[in-house]
Each structure stands twice: as structure tokens, then as C-alpha cells.
Structure 1
């Protein structure tokens, strides 16, 4: 437990720092949107691309890991569809609840995995992201537009234009080509990647909205329990059933235990969902994850 706390507390310290820096208007309000765009379109794709370009794609555990990812997301999605049928949620609320339960804070996840498992863990995480990012994006868009219908083009186009997905695809293709990263390009990508996670965690903190926590406490609470407790336990059960190796199991559980992504707020607002509920879910889950992540990882690695 102490080892996990020592690995994770600096990550949450950066999140807290980002929250207070924005509240203190340092450097200024215009900095944070630009920092988020820089990270999303350049620094973070560099991390994913370089990790996948050198990933050992012949790892015999990868097919089972891919199956575990899809089973975990599939069971979670079916549970949400059942809840929607029972509760009669509108698309706006269903979209927020779906993203609260299925989306994940990628910056926090990769920073935690890097601290705990090093480059080998980051490589596994990048391979998982190649599956999880497009799947979760499609489910999020569909859930937010379920009532008014959505064409295949409008559903898939944002996914195909996503820089994280393009970076994953490019890294895998380069890996399969056998060309590698010649001429110092590996060092260039390494420098870009090194800046991504600290800046991403600061931006996560800057996006927190504690003022949104005073509204729908029951809805915020049950969705946070689903995301931070039920989903990682489901992932652990799937990993156990598929007999995944220890590191693959831990990385899978950690990704399913992450709080939802801050970018879910932007998507919810753009597609007419309940953005206030979404902001509350992002804030509460991020705050609770400081306690839930060390506890869950201690249990599953014991």
C-alpha cells in the first residue's frame, strides 16, 4: 500500500496544482485551453505513437488482453442499456451516465502506469488505448444522440479524426513495417512524450468544477460507485477468468478504475447532453479516485 501511495501521490499533487493555478489565474485564463489543445493534438499522440512503434506485438497475452477489454466494455454497456430502460433516462442524461461509467482519464492512467510499471506497462497501456478509445468514443456519441438518431458517418467521423486514434494506428503500422524510429526521431518523440503527462495532469486539475457538486448527489454517487468500484471489479473478474498475467491484469484493472475523462464535458455540451451533470461526475470521480485507486490496486495485487 505504501509503495502505491508513493507512486500515485505526485500525480494527484499535479492535479491539485492545476486546480489552484487556474483559480489563481496563473499564468492566465487563456493558457489552459491552449495547453489542452497542444497536449491533445501533439504531445499525447507523440507518446502513444512512440510507445506503439516499438511495442512487442508478438506478446502471447495480447489477444486475451484485447478480449478482456472488449468484454469489460461490453458488459458495462449492457448494464447501462438495462438501467436506461428501467429508469427512462433522456439521451442527455444517458450520455452523461455512459461517459461517467465507460470513459477514462487517459492522462492519469498513463501517468499511474508509468510510475508503477515503467515502459513495459506504458506499452501495454498504449495497446489497450488503441482498442478502448475508438470503442468508448462511438458509445459516447451514440448514447448522447440516441433519441434523434445518428448516421454512420456522423458517428464514425469524430472517431476517425481523433488524433489519439490516428497516433495509435500510425504507431502500429510503423511497428509492422519494421522501419523503426531512425535518425534521432525516437529522441524527438521521447522529448514530446515526456512533456505530455505532467501537462495533462495540470489540465485535469484546471478543469475541475467543485461548484457543480451541489446538485444531483444521488446520481453523482451511484455513477461514481459504478465507475470507481463496479467497473474495476468487473475487469478483475474478466482478467481472472481469462487467466491474464499479473501485469496485464493490473493494467486492465487500473484503466477500468480511472475517473472519467475531462473531455467528456466538451462532448456532452457539443451534443446537447446534461453538461452540468457531466461536470459534477468528472469532479467527484477525480476527487474520489485519490482514495479508490490505491485501495483497489492493493486488493487486486495482493
Structure 2
């Protein structure tokens, strides 16, 4: 367990530091708004492009990794659809619960993969993100829009405009075309991406809203524990059954054990979802992950 905690605690220390900076008003609100925008539209997409360009898409294990990601995501999605029919959730609530169960905090995930698995792990993580990010964004938008009578274009627009999806597609195109990152552009992208993870973790802490925990605590707790413990356990079992290589399966488990993405709150507000419940789920999952992630990591093969 100590071997797990040593690389992990600085990551959560940055999240806590971001929360304290925001709560103590050391920095103005305008800083956090600008930092989130800079990271979301420039720094993090640069990191994704760089990761996708270096990803081993020619790996013979790619079909198994993609199949595991899609099967796990599809299984959770089908279960949520059944629960919606049984519980009669409106789109505003269904979309929140879908994001809580499926989306993941990419900043935290890449920071963990870098700390535990290094460059080799980041290359495999790029494959996982290339599969999951477009699918999860589509499902999140569809869940929030279902029942609103929106046209296919109105549903597709926020997906197509998503800078993370655009960055993934650009990086994959540069990789598969053989163009790569010429004329030193890989150094530029590397420098931009290097600032993304620490700034992103600070912004995650700054975005925590403890007041949201006073709302529907039972719904938030069930959603959080299912996401942080049951889903990664099911993913690990399925990866073993499919014969996915140990390291790739471990990385997939980590991505399914992460708390949901802070940007889920922004999407929920934009599409008239239950933003209070979404804020509570984001905060609860992030706090609980400080306990559940070390447990999950300690059970993974070295």
C-alpha cells in the first residue's frame, strides 16, 4: 500500500491546494475562469495531440483494448437505460447519472498513469482515451438531450466542437498518416502539455463545491460507490476473460476507477440538466477517490 500512496499523495495534494487557494481567495475568481479556459482549449488538447501521435495504434493488442473499453461502457449504459425505465428519470437527472457513472477526470488519470507507468503507460492510455472520449461525450449529450426534441445537429454540435475530441482526432490523423510532429512541433506541444496536468489538478480542487453534498446524498453515494468500486471490478474481470494484456487491463481499470470529469458540470448547465446534483456527484466522487483509488491500485498487478 505504501508503494501506491507515495506517487499518489502529491496528486491529491495539488487538488487540495487548489481548493485552499480558491477558498482562501488567494487568487481572484477571474484567474480560475481563465486557467480553466486555457487548459481546456489549449494546454490539455496539446497534451492529447502529443499523446495520440506517440500512441501505438499498430499494436496487435489494440482490438482487445478497444473491445474492453466499449463492452464496459456499453454494459454500464444498458444498465442505466434499464434503471431509467424503471425509475422514470427525466433527461435532466438521467444525463447527470450517466456522466457520474461513465465520464472520467482525465487530468487525474494521466497524472496517475505518468506517476505509476511512465511513458509506456501514457502511450497505452492514449489508445484508451481515443476510444472513450468521443463515445462518452456522445452518450452524455444524448442522455441530457433525450426528451427535449432536439435535432441531430443540435445534439452533434457540442460533440464536434469539443476540443478534446478535436485533439484526439488530429493526433490520430497525424499518427496514422505518418506525418507525426515535424520541425520541432513535438517540443512545442510537449512544453504546452507539461503545464496541463498540474494546472488541471489545481482547477479540479478549485471547482469542488462541498455545499453540493447537502443535496441528494443517497443518490450521490450510490452513484459514486458504484462508479469507483463496482465498475472497475467488473472491468478487471472482463479484461481477464478477454485476455487483455496485464498492463493494458490495469490501465483500463484505473480509467474506470477515476472520479467523473469536472467539465460534466459545464455540460450539464449548458443543457439544462440538474446542475446541483452534478456538482454534488463531482465533489463526492473526487473526495471518495482519495480512499478508493489507493485500494484499487493496491489490487492491480505490478
Shorter-chain TM range is: over 0.9
Cα separation, 1, equivalents of 2:196 and 2:153? 31
| Contact 2:93/2:273 (8 A) holds in 1 | yes
What is aligned with 1:258?
258
Shift of 1:187: 1.2
Question: Map of 1:1-302 to 2, 5 A cutoff?
Answer: 1-301=1-301
SS where residue 125 of structure 2 aligns?
A: helix
| Contact 1:7/1:115 (8 A) holds in 2 | yes
| Contact 1:231/1:256 (8 A) holds in 2 | yes
**Which stretches in structure 1 are left out of the alignment for 5+ residues?**
none
> CA offsets per residue over residues 196-230 of structure 1, 9 Å max, x none?
00000000000000011112111111000111011
SS where residue 21 of structure 1 aligns?
A: helix
| Contact 1:142/1:150 (8 A) holds in 2 | no
Cα separation, 1, equivalents of 2:268 and 2:170? 28
Cα separation, 1, equivalents of 2:85 and 2:60? 39
Cα separation, 1, equivalents of 2:151 and 2:195? 37
Shift of 1:245: 0.9
TM-score when scaled to structure 2? 0.97
SS where residue 300 of structure 2 aligns?
A: helix
SS where residue 260 of structure 1 aligns?
A: coil
Number of matched residues?
A: 302
> CA offsets per residue over residues 116-148 of structure 1, 9 Å max, x none?
111111111122111111111111111112122
Deviates more, 1:35-44 or 1:24-33: 24-33
Deviates more, 1:178-187 or 1:21-30: 178-187
Runs of 4+ in 1 over 6 A off after TM superposition: none
> CA offsets per residue over residues 180-200 of structure 1, 9 Å max, x none?
222221111111111000000
Cα separation, 2, equivalents of 1:234 and 1:192? 36
| Contact 2:47/2:193 (8 A) holds in 1 | yes
Cα separation, 2, equivalents of 1:37 and 1:122? 24
Cα separation, 1, equivalents of 2:15 and 2:192? 20
SS where residue 179 of structure 2 aligns?
A: coil
**Which stretches in structure 2 are left out of the alignment for 5+ residues?**
none
Shift of 1:54: 2.1
SS where residue 261 of structure 1 aligns?
A: coil
> CA offsets per residue over residues 90-135 of structure 1, 9 Å max, x none?
1111111111101111100111111111111111112211111111
